[in-house]
């Protein structure tokens, strides 16, 4: 990998990190990651990008479209990276995880997925990073997608199941 490309990835990862942690929302990271995994699972991403790349829409119509989907501009950029440059997106995420682990003193990061993860691609990338990450690729019916983040004394649940439970509780509360 070229040196300029590494600097480019670090710049994106640091920008991603500061954007997340300078946000006033406390659970910004959790919400954005859960939205991404939810959209990937439901296969809405390509439809969203096809609709947003149309040039005949006016700015007001685009804003209304964003509000209907409840997708932030930041999330849309992440989704475009995921589709257009998948390997580049993985590099940025891994660099972001490295920065996140340094700042929050996280011990382990577990990737959990319903669909099989291509291990050799991820392991090849992870060999270039100093710290080790544990990749859990077990098929578990309770986990739809996302990952668990292990800190010193607690786990943070970033799985879709957790996200869907919160939506169900919120909708049930609003109806009653």
pLDDT, tens digit, for every residue of 82-115?
555 555 666 666 666 666 666 666 555 544 444 4
Across the strands, what pairs with 149? 109, 156
What pTM was computed for the model? Answer: 0.29
Around Cβ 139, how many Cβ atoms within 10 Å?
9
Around Cβ 132, how many Cβ atoms within 10 Å?
9
Take residue 85 and report the two structure tokens written for it.
């440059």
Res. 39 pLDDT band, cuts 50 70 90? low
* Alpha-carbon separation of residue 85 from 31, 48, 89, 90, 176 (angstroms): 23, 17, 6, 9, 44
Domain region containing 54: 3-175
Pairing of strands 147-150, 108-111: antiparallel
Take residue 75 and report the two structure tokens written for it.
């999330």
- Confidence at residue 89, expressed as pLDDT on a 0 to 100 scale: 60
pLDDT, tens digit, for every residue of 45-70?
445 444 444 444 445 554 454 445 54
CA dihedral 139, 142, 145, 150 (to 10 degrees): -90
All residues at 6 or more sequence positions from 176 whose CB lies less than 8 Å from its CB, including other chains = none
Average pLDDT, the chain: 54
**Axis-axis angle for helices 86-104, 119-126 (nearest 10):** 50
* Residue 4 C-alpha from the chain's centroid: 25
All residues at 6 or more sequence positions from 110 whose CB lies less than 8 Å from its CB, including other chains = 134, 135, 136, 147, 148, 149, 150
Total domains in the fold of the chain = 1
């Amino acid at each position: 990998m070229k040196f300029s490309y590494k600097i480019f990835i670090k710049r994106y990862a640091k920008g991603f990190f500061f954007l997340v942690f300078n946000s006033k929302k406390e659970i910004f990271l959790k919400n954005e990651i859960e939205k991404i995994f939810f959209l990937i699972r439901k296969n809405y991403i390509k439809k969203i990008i096809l609709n947003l790349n149309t040039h005949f829409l006016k700015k007001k119509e685009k804003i209304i479209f964003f509000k209907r989907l409840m997708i932030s501009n930041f999330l849309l950029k992440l989704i475009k990276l995921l589709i257009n440059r998948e390997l580049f997106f993985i590099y940025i995420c891994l660099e972001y995880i490295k920065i996140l682990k340094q700042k929050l003193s996280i011990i382990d990061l577990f990737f959990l997925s319903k669909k099989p993860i291509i291990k050799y691609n991820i392991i090849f990338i992870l060999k270039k990073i100093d710290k080790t990450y544990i990749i859990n690729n077990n098929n578990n019916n309770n986990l739809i997608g996302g990952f668990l983040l292990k800190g010193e004394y607690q786990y943070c649940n970033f799985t879709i199941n957790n996200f869907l439970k919160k939506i169900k509780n919120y909708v049930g509360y609003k109806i009653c």
